[in-house]
Structure 1
Amino acid sequence: MSDPAVVLDDLRAESEELDRLVAGLSDEQWAAATPAPGWTVAHQIAHLAWTDEVALLAVTDAAAFGKEVEKALTEPDTFVDRAAEAGAWQPPDELLAHWRGGRDRLQQALRAAPPGSRFPWYGPPMSATSMATARLMETWAHGQDVADALGAVREPTARLRHVAHIGVRARDYAYFVRGTEPPEEEFRVELTGPAGDLWTYGPEGAAQTVTGPALDFCLLVTQRAHRDDLAVRAHGADADRWLDIAQAFAGPAGAGRAPKGA
C-alpha cells in the first residue's frame, strides 16, 4: 500500500483502540504483568511512546537520530528494555499524556513529509508508508500484550492487513538475523481476513505455501502466540521452517511465547 495517509489513518485507529483499553485503568492494572517477561502494562505503553519519539526524530532530525543509533549499538541487548523501564516509572496519567502527544506529533510529521521521502532507522531506511506500517504493527502487537494482561479480547479488524504485509515482507530478515540464508524461492501466503475475504501474497502456483486465518498469522509473526496454538499451516519444508522463526519486527530473534499449557 503506497499511500501513507491510508496507513496513517489505520495507525491512528489502532492507537485509539489501545488508548480506550488503558485509559480507565487503576494503578494496580497499570502495574499488571504482561506476557513479556519483566514488562507491565506501563512498560508496554512506555515502549510505544519511546518508539514514537525516536521515529519522530528519524523523520525530523536525521543527525540526532544517528546519535540514538550510536547509543543503541553500545548496549544492543538492553537499550529497548532500559527505555521502557524509564518510561514505566511515570505516573499513569503522565505516561498516557506522553504517549498521546508523541504519537500525534509523529502523525503530523509523517503526513507533512514530501512524497518519496526516506528516513533512517535501526534497519534499512524507511518511507513514510513503511514507517507508519511498522508503527501500526508494533502498536497492535504490544496492544495484544496489554489485552492478554487484562484478560481482554480484541475483535480483529481489517487493519491486520498491514501486520500481515510486513510479516510476509520480513521473511528473509528472519533468516538473516539468525545467520542463515533464506530460501531462494518465494512462498505463496493465503490468509483469511476477519471479514472472510482472502489476502494473498507471493506468486500464484508457488511450490510452497502458507495458509490460515490472518489473525493467527499476525500473532505468529509478532511472536504473540506459539505456533502450536495457531491454525497456520505450511506446505513444504522451507515454508514449515519459516513458521518456526518468522518475525515481523526488527532486532534480535525473540524467544516467542510458550505453548498453552506448557
Structure 2
Amino acid sequence: MPDPSSPVPDPSSLVIADLRAEGEELDQLVGALEAGDWARPTPAPGWTVAHQIAHLEWTDRAALLALTDAEGFARQAAEALGRPDTFVDEGAEAGAALPPAELLARWRAGRAELDAALTKAPAGERFPWYGPPMKAVSMASARLMETWAHGQDVADALGAVRVPTARLRHVARIGVRARDYAHAVRGLPAPEGEFRVELTSPDGTELWAYGPPEAEQRVTGPALDFCLLVTRRAHRADLAVTASGAEADRWLDIAQAFAGPAGEGRERRGA
C-alpha cells in the first residue's frame, strides 16, 4: 500500500522517464547494427532504418527548439508550412545521408538535450508546436508516441519482436484523444458524444478505460493492437480491436494518433 506521507509523483517526470526508456530501447536495437543494416528498407515507402532514426533526430531537435527558442521555432515552422509535402522527408533524407555512426551520435545527443529541456520546463507553460501549443508533459507524450511508432518500423525492418510495455498507455491516450482530429483531417464531421474505449494492458493485469461506461459507441481490444492501429503500423484486419456501433466502426478505419496526412498505412498481412 502506498505511503500516504510520500510525495505524489509528478506526471511530467513520469512521462519523461518513459520517453527516456523508449529511446533507450530503440537505441539497443540500432546501436550495434552494421553499417549495411542502416540501409535496410522499412515498411514506410522509400525510408530505410537510417531515415527512421534521422526523422526522430530531426523531430527531437524541433521539440528542443520549441522548448528553448520560440522565435527560432517560429521561423522553422514557417519554413515547414511553405513546403508541407516535402519538409519532413527532406529532414529525414539529410540525416540518412550521414555516416551511421554520426547519425547515431547526433540522435543520442539530441535525446539527452531534449530530456534535460523537458525536465526543466515549467509545468504550466505551453510551448509552440506545428499544431496547438503544448505543455511539456504533452510534448513528452507525443515524442514517446512517435519514438515507439518509428521504432516499430525499425523492428519490422530488422525482423525483431519487441516486448510491449506499460509505456503504451501514453500512445493509447493520444490515440483516443485524437479521434476528432482523425475525422477532421479527412474532412469528416466529428462524432457527437464520447466513445467508450476499453483496452487490456500489455501484461494482461489492467483495463485501460476511456470515456463514459454507458456510451453506446464502444471499442475494445488489446492495448498493443490499438496502438498499432492508431499509429497505422498494422492493418485493422490483422488486429484484435473491435467496435460496437457504426460511428466507432468508422473511426477504427481512419484512426490516427499523429498529425498530418495519414498516408497509405500497412497492407493486410498476406495481401
TM-score, normalised to structure 1, is 0.98
How do 1:8-19 residues align onto structure 2 when only pairs under 5 Å count?
Answer: 8-19=16-27
Secondary structure in structure 1 of the residue aligned to 2:29:
helix
Match of 2:257 in 1: 248
- For 2:184, which of 176, 180, 199 is the aligned residue? 176
Secondary structure in structure 1 of the residue aligned to 2:89:
helix
Query: C-alpha separation between the residues in 1 aligned to 2:10 and 2:200?
Result: 22
Q: Which runs of 5+ in 2 are unaligned?
A: 1-8
Q: CA deviation at 1:27?
A: 1.2
- Deviation sequence 1:133-170 (CA, Å, 0-9, x none): 00000000000000000000000000000000100011
Match of 1:140 in 2: 148
Secondary structure in structure 1 of the residue aligned to 2:191:
coil
How do 1:85-96 residues align onto structure 2 when only pairs under 5 Å count?
Answer: 85-96=93-104
- For 1:223, which of 229, 232, 238 is the aligned residue? 232
TM-score, normalised to structure 2, is 0.95
State whether residues 56 and 147 of structure 2, in contact with CA within 8 Å, keep that contact through their aligned partners in structure 1.
yes
Alignment pair present for 1:68 and 2:76: yes
Secondary structure in structure 1 of the residue aligned to 2:56:
helix
State whether residues 12 and 123 of structure 2, in contact with CA within 8 Å, keep that contact through their aligned partners in structure 1.
no
- For 2:223, which of 191, 194, 214 is the aligned residue? 214
Match of 2:6 in 1: none
State whether residues 194 and 212 of structure 2, in contact with CA within 8 Å, keep that contact through their aligned partners in structure 1.
yes
Secondary structure in structure 1 of the residue aligned to 2:23:
helix
- Deviation sequence 1:165-208 (CA, Å, 0-9, x none): 10001110001111121101110000001111110001111001
State whether residues 193 and 199 of structure 1, in contact with CA within 8 Å, keep that contact through their aligned partners in structure 2.
yes
Secondary structure in structure 1 of the residue aligned to 2:45:
coil
How do 1:229-240 residues align onto structure 2 when only pairs under 5 Å count?
Answer: 229-240=238-249
Q: Which runs of 5+ in 1 are unaligned?
A: none
State whether residues 195 and 216 of structure 2, in contact with CA within 8 Å, keep that contact through their aligned partners in structure 1.
yes
Q: Which AA in structure 2 matches 1:26?
A: E
Query: C-alpha separation between the residues in 1 aligned to 2:10 and 2:143?
Result: 16
State whether residues 118 and 128 of structure 1, in contact with CA within 8 Å, keep that contact through their aligned partners in structure 2.
yes
Q: CA deviation at 1:253?
A: 2.3
Alignment pair present for 1:37 and 2:24: no
Q: CA deviation at 1:115?
A: 2.1
Percentage of matched positions with identical amino acids: 71
- For 1:4, which of 6, 12, 22 is the aligned residue? 12
Count of equivalent residues: 262
State whether residues 2 and 129 of structure 1, in contact with CA within 8 Å, keep that contact through their aligned partners in structure 2.
no
Q: Which AA in structure 2 matches 1:96?
A: L
- For 2:63, which of 51, 55, 61 is the aligned residue? 55
